[in-house]
Amino acid sequence: MKSTPHHAAWFFFLMVLPVILIVSFLVVYPTIKGVVMSFQNYTVFTFWRVRFVGLKNYVEIFTDSDFPSVLLNTLIWIAGSVTLQLILGFILALLLWRPFKGRGIYAGFVFYPWALSGFAIGLVWSWLLNGTFGIVNDVLKKLHLIKENIHFLSDPNYAMLSVILINIWYGIPFFAIMILAALQSIPKEVMESAMIDGAGPVRRLFSIVIPYIKPTLLSSVLLRIIWVMNFPDIIYGTTRGGPAGSTNILPVYMINIVFYETNFSKASAVGVIIIAILLVYTLFYLKLTSYGEMEF
């Protein structure tokens, strides 16, 4: 029997139906539910008398005197973390590009932090950087680099810098892995002919390497910014947004609303704000980088 286009369409639909159902259950439903909840008064104490409250939760968030500093902290957190992760990850990938003895073992150590839980990393670093008992202060003192302990996580001047440094330590392997994979796809002949033509390392980097791996770089930066923005683990494990809100970023702000105010609706409203910011950012980023017109 000859299959008609109508039958083919049904067949394809049936094939993708499981995926549609799974995605709907795991992504679409929670998103819609979250948006709906953000307009309700869904708290632990009102589970049985939930009602719509209009924009009340949004008004509370936007009129919160801490909210502007939360936004600024989020921006600093993303910019500081991703920029340095990218630069250092790039350097690391370049170092690992050329084969050398023990490269596999070395790469294993370098990529290790990426395999750890962000929250566990936060807890470990919170003791390492502890201003009273921390080993980092002890080492710096023994090396005569400091005279008095530095309060890495309790001094607002150092707290954000400290959590960003922890995040950089954690996130470098991601860029290193991605960039290394892209570097390995550059044809050797292209590099060799550039060398024969007399192109130096800097010229080769900017004229061949970077243009070649540009799609990887752009997609990695896009993804990483989204992940870092949604990554409260390290901050929650170290400072919980403190001291005095100096490391309070949007997802930490959201978690604290759930934990301390037990207000799921207000937290959902923060979640919707995060989605909106990321949506605007992604569209702007893709437009700016002409990502859709790129050849892969």
Give yes or no for residue 155 binding another protein (CB under 8 A). Answer: yes
8 Å CB contact between 184 and 256:
no
Interaction of residue 72 with another protein, rule CB under 8 A: no
What is the smallest separation between the CB atom of 138 and another protein, expressed in angstroms? 10
C-alpha to C-alpha distances, 50 to 37, 223, 259, 262, nearest whole angstrom: 9, 36, 19, 14
Where do runs of H (alpha helix) occur along the chain? 5-23, 29-37, 56-62, 67-97, 103-111, 118-128, 135-142, 156-183, 188-196, 201-204, 210-229, 233-238, 250-261, 264-288
199-258 positions binding another protein, by CB under 8 A: 239-240, 242-245, 256, 258
Q: Copy the structure tokens of residue 189.
A: 């002949």
The distance of closest approach from Cβ of residue 235 to another protein in the complex, given in angstroms and rounded to an integer, is: 12
Which residue in 212, 237, 204 sits closest to 123, CA to CA? Answer: 237
- Residue among 43 and 282 whose Cβ is closer to another protein: 43
Judged by CB under 8 A, does residue 44 bind another protein? yes
133 binds another protein (CB under 8 A): yes
Judged by CB under 8 A, does residue 154 bind another protein? yes
- d(CA 56, CA 42) in angstroms, rounded, equals 12
Q: Does 260 bind another protein (CB under 8 A)?
A: yes
- By C-beta, is 215 or 242 nearer to another protein? 242
Which residues between 12 and 41 bind another protein (CB under 8 A)? none
Q: What's 150's DSSP letter?
A: -
Instruction: Pick the stretch among 82-90, 143-151, 176-184, 223-231 that binds another protein (CB under 8 A).
Output: 143-151
Please give the residue ranges that form the binding site for another protein (CB under 8 A).
44-45, 47, 66, 130-133, 148-149, 151, 153-156, 239-240, 242-245, 256, 258-262
